[in-house]
Structure 1
Amino acid sequence: MASYDSEKFSNDEKVTIHHVEEVIPQYTDEEYNHLKRKVDRYLLPLMWLCHGLQQVDKACVGTQATFGLREDTGLVGQQFSWLTTVFYFTYMCFEIPSIILLQRYSMGRILSIFVVCWGFVVLSIGFAQNFVHLITLRALQGVFECSISPGFLLVVGAWYTTREHPSRSLVFQSGYAGVSIITDSINYGIGTVTNKNPDFEAWRYMSYFLGSLTIVAGIFCFLLLGTPSEVRWLSAEEKKIATARILSNNTGHDRTGIKDWKWGQVRECLVDPVFWIAGANAFLGSVPNGALTAFSGILTTSYGFTSLQNILLNIPKMIFSVLYFVAIGLLVTRKKDLRMWTMAVSALPPIAGFLIIALLPNEPQYKWTKWGGLFMTSTYVVGTFFSWSLIPSNIAGRTKRTVVSSITFVGYCVGNMTGTQIFQAKDAPRYIPGTIGCVSCLGLQMALILLWRSILVMRNRRRDATMRGLGMSEEDRDKAGLEMGERDHTDFENPYFRYVT
């Protein structure tokens, strides 16, 4: 161990440095890599499927609307918009209770129950006869789906190192695009029956199909999903290796602080500008998400495409999204400090796309150009999804991480609700006020992300300067940071913590 001036450290810090080797077992790179590959095989495909189904299930009403859902259930005025608004309202209301459940009890079991429950709700939408039935079921859908995104971020934080967070988070977050390619192909087959039998209510069978598929996925979750201390597919020694791997994040292991709610960490959130920026970023990035979730299919058909063409045209969008997610996932994994630059740059194409949608008339000669504008909006989700991966990487302290996750998903829900409501029925078919609103939100989000990055960079520079003044080696700093993370210290309390950007 490198030498340092012991007079410059408190007794606790001296104990930290010398005790940390007792806390962290030593394993070889080969053992770590073998475990990482095993975890990838078990968890990533499952999270990819479940997160993709969650996004597909909640967005399917947009496709179903083009196959007669509104007419068959007698929806009028803003009632269709409220089907998405109520989803995010209950999503928001039950977000914090669900996160507390995930933090305090078996994460894998809770998530599995929620997946199965929302699968039955989606299945039941196929039997709805009126607005009351639909809005009740969509409210229940929001209750059960609210746990998946924060739950999977907690799972990623429990299994992977900070450097691996963005690539693994993007794997499951790319599930929407990947799963959509599969489900849209099947929904297209369901929709073609309408051409042979006009009385066939294709939208109902889309719900039957998606709900059944989600229930099956939930059953697999019971068998495979969980944190290192919960799953049954690891040996006792492999669980120790998994714990040793994540201690390098300076945030403790998957059981750190699980029974303690620390109000001091809550108060710390309120004075941390990153807490408020995370919530505002989630809101601004989710306004276009809410709009496109509900109205993408309606916009496409308004340009002159048929309902079946709308499904087919969605497939190349999703293929591009998968490729884009893979590309930026590889980029930020191999190159440090590019996450937030990627978030900001990814807002530029959607801004241009929404302007094309708003400014060009719905004339036949412009229909492909307008669809091209819709295609350009595909990258808007990066600013929101990448910010989620910053939570396990940049927030230490279990209670603080819970509170920051909560404000992020509250912003996400409020933004989505706003997005559905700024697209008013009276503005159809071009919805100019709504599209301009989306442009404004994305522009503000870009500026906010750059401010966010500047704050984190300045914090790292101050801490590096302090450590250089103390004369500590990088090895000593790393070991001290590991121990303080194990004790559930926050990123403010741990002077050895470093933020990723």
Structure 2
Amino acid sequence: MGSTDETKAAVPQGEDGVALESVPPAVAASLHDGKMDHIADVAVDMVHAAEEEFTDEQYRKVLRKVDWVLLPLMWICSGAQYADKVSVSTQATFGLIADTHLVGQQFSWLTSIFYIAFLVAEAPGNYILQRVSVGPTIAVSMFIWGILVFCIAAAKNFASLMVLRFLQGAAECTTYPALIYITSTFYTSQEHAHRSVIWGTANAGMDILTSLINYGIGTHAKEHPNGLAPWKGISLFLGALTVVLSVITYFIFGTPREVRWLTAEEKRIAQARIVRNQTGTDVEKQPWKWDQVATAFKDPQTYFLFFLVIINSIPNGGTTSFGNLVYVSFGFTPLETIVKGKIPQQCLSIITFIIAGYITLKKPGMRFYIMMASVVPAFAGMLALALLPRQGMLWTRWGCYLITIVGNVAGPMIWTLVPSNIAGRTKKSVTGTVLFIAYCTGNCIGAQVFQAKDAPRYIPAIIICSCMYGLEFVVMFFWRLYYIWQNKRRARLVADMGLTPEESLHQGALNAESDMTDYENIHFRYSY
């Protein structure tokens, strides 16, 4: 984006009065000549539909339908993936370690290998998502990882567990990117955080449901010690649940262009709703653009995202695998860990997620404030755990560890910055890949931070987690400042061009529908 072009006062106009300066060359030429090519035709048609074709009531009706169909299934699928991913934490308290003869750091590697596989498969997984319909992609991956979770019940040693966890990580790599992609194609920027937080509560909600079922499995195993080992029963239950869900997702998931449960008019309304995002709609598939790859790596957002997600994921990687063992270190039994530890903690998580989602929906511009506020109790709770005396104070330790769950709010809200603030189909795909590479890297590190030699209290790991929460606060603060600066700078440039806010909004939407990136589109405003 050249500074000379940005500051021109006189802006060329097409036959429909659209400012042409920041329209991609192919679109600008065709508009100027009165002969719109296919790209220009689609772009202008969709912007026109968003501005004049539909009423607010039509938008609300389609939104209600989308919410009732998509959100429950997104919630269940997100929760199932989380439950499958962290099941080894619960299984560890029910005999997995002893029955499979794990020693030293081998249990930590069951988490690390999952994220290593996730990382390796992320780029090809995102490519497949861009080239194939979303529903079949998620359905196949869920079916495969459900079978793998089922097979964990038959594992007898470290080697077999490592192979299964690696394959499981590779199979699960498309789910979260797909959920973010679906959210971006059906919801406006102001709705992204709220809807993502809703399906983000599934991590806690499904954990509560599966914990209750796991409690029943554990109780039954305690009463029948010669029967099926409880950790094996947990794998059989979670694997079967995931396989059933895979069939349902095949028929429900997709973008507005792909789904079967919207009429042709409802699909157009759903697409028109999100034109205001200025991140492009899913009217048709876009080709891979290498110039957008280069743009992604020039954009400071990419680096803010990469480092912040790593910092956020280090505590997550450790506590998802070792959280139950931390409760055991307080003096709880494995069954008490479920009903007195995990369930209360996850209930608090759901409450904080709901509050955070409601605030972001009703008060724009609060996303970063909520993320920053959420890591404060997590920082304080972890630090207090590290400083408390070695013995006693059971319920004080319980309370300190309970409040660390509030820090989980930040993770899903960080991810929503991608659909809200990244435009350009290829650039969005590249940035999403960077996000999940960072996610995997942080989780791998987090699992290794908890060292077997530091058991049962894991004080060095808890101190590191506390420091990460503090560092997270600082990075969020500066990222928000960057967005404020960018929006003010762009507003000045648009004012110098002599455009009204309405003209700028129209031009920004036209640019986005032509697959222009947010980095190049000076009419784009970042959401924070």
- TM-score, structure 1 as length reference: 0.96
- Asked if structure 1 preserves the Cα contact closer than 8 Å seen for 2:286 and 2:425, the reply is no
Equivalent in the alignment of 2:10: 8
- Asked if structure 2 preserves the Cα contact closer than 8 Å seen for 1:281 and 1:384, the reply is no
Quote how far apart the aligned CAs of 1:429 are.
Answer: 1.1
- Asked if structure 1 preserves the Cα contact closer than 8 Å seen for 2:374 and 2:410, the reply is yes
Q: Does 1:337 align with 2:342?
A: no
**Partner SS state of residue 346, structure 1:** helix
Q: Deviations over 1:321-348 (max 9, x none)?
A: 1111111100011101110111111111
- Asked if structure 1 preserves the Cα contact closer than 8 Å seen for 2:279 and 2:421, the reply is no
What is the identity percentage for the equivalent residue pairs of Structure 1 and Structure 2?
41
- Asked if structure 1 preserves the Cα contact closer than 8 Å seen for 2:271 and 2:281, the reply is yes
Equivalent in the alignment of 1:126: 153
- Asked if structure 1 preserves the Cα contact closer than 8 Å seen for 2:10 and 2:498, the reply is no
Equivalent in the alignment of 2:91: 64
Equivalent in the alignment of 2:35: none
Q: Deviations over 1:336-373 (max 9, x none)?
A: 1110111111111111111122222442x312111212
Aligned residue type for 2:182: V
**Partner SS state of residue 326, structure 2:** helix
- Asked if structure 2 preserves the Cα contact closer than 8 Å seen for 1:115 and 1:217, the reply is yes
Segment drifting more, 470-479 vs 298-307: 470-479
Equivalent in the alignment of 2:500: 473
Equivalent in the alignment of 1:73: 100
Alignment of structure 1 residues 218-233 onto 2, 5 Å:
218-233=246-261
Q: Of 376, 387, 392, which residue of structure 2 is paired with 1:359? A: 387
**Partner SS state of residue 254, structure 1:** coil
Quote how far apart the aligned CAs of 1:11 are.
Answer: 4.7
Alignment of structure 1 residues 351-500 onto 2, 5 Å:
351-363=379-391, 365-500=392-527
Aligned residue type for 1:14: A
Quote how far apart the aligned CAs of 1:471 are.
Answer: 3.0
Q: Deviations over 1:151-189 (max 9, x none)?
A: 100000011111111111111111111111111111101
Equivalent in the alignment of 1:254: 282
CA-based RMSD of the aligned residues comes to: 1.7
What CA distance in whole angstroms lies between the structure 2 residues aligned with 1:292 and 1:171?
Answer: 22
Q: Deviations over 1:90-148 (max 9, x none)?
A: 00110111111111211111011111111111111111111111111111110111111
> Is there any run of 5+ residues in structure 2 with no aligned partner, and where?
1-7, 32-40
What CA distance in whole angstroms lies between the structure 1 residues aligned with 2:311 and 2:177?
Answer: 18
**Partner SS state of residue 107, structure 2:** helix
Q: Does 1:103 align with 2:130?
A: yes
**Partner SS state of residue 450, structure 2:** coil
- TM-score, structure 2 as length reference: 0.91
Equivalent in the alignment of 2:4: none
Alignment of structure 1 residues 216-365 onto 2, 5 Å:
216-255=244-283, 258-313=285-340, 314-363=342-391, 365=392
Equivalent in the alignment of 1:3: none
What CA distance in whole angstroms lies between the structure 2 residues aligned with 1:282 and 1:455?
Answer: 17
Quote how far apart the aligned CAs of 1:21 are.
Answer: 5.8
Equivalent in the alignment of 2:239: 211
What CA distance in whole angstroms lies between the structure 1 residues aligned with 2:222 and 2:152?
Answer: 23
Aligned residue type for 2:169: G
Aligned residue type for 2:464: G
Equivalent in the alignment of 1:136: 163
What CA distance in whole angstroms lies between the structure 1 residues aligned with 2:404 and 2:478?
Answer: 23
What CA distance in whole angstroms lies between the structure 2 residues aligned with 1:491 and 1:483?
Answer: 12
- Asked if structure 1 preserves the Cα contact closer than 8 Å seen for 2:317 and 2:442, the reply is yes
Q: Does 1:115 align with 2:142?
A: yes
Q: Deviations over 1:282-341 (max 9, x none)?
A: 000000001001100111011110000111121111111111111110001110111011
Aligned residue type for 1:86: I
- Asked if structure 2 preserves the Cα contact closer than 8 Å seen for 1:303 and 1:362, the reply is no
What CA distance in whole angstroms lies between the structure 1 residues aligned with 2:314 and 2:146?
Answer: 26
Aligned residue type for 1:245: R
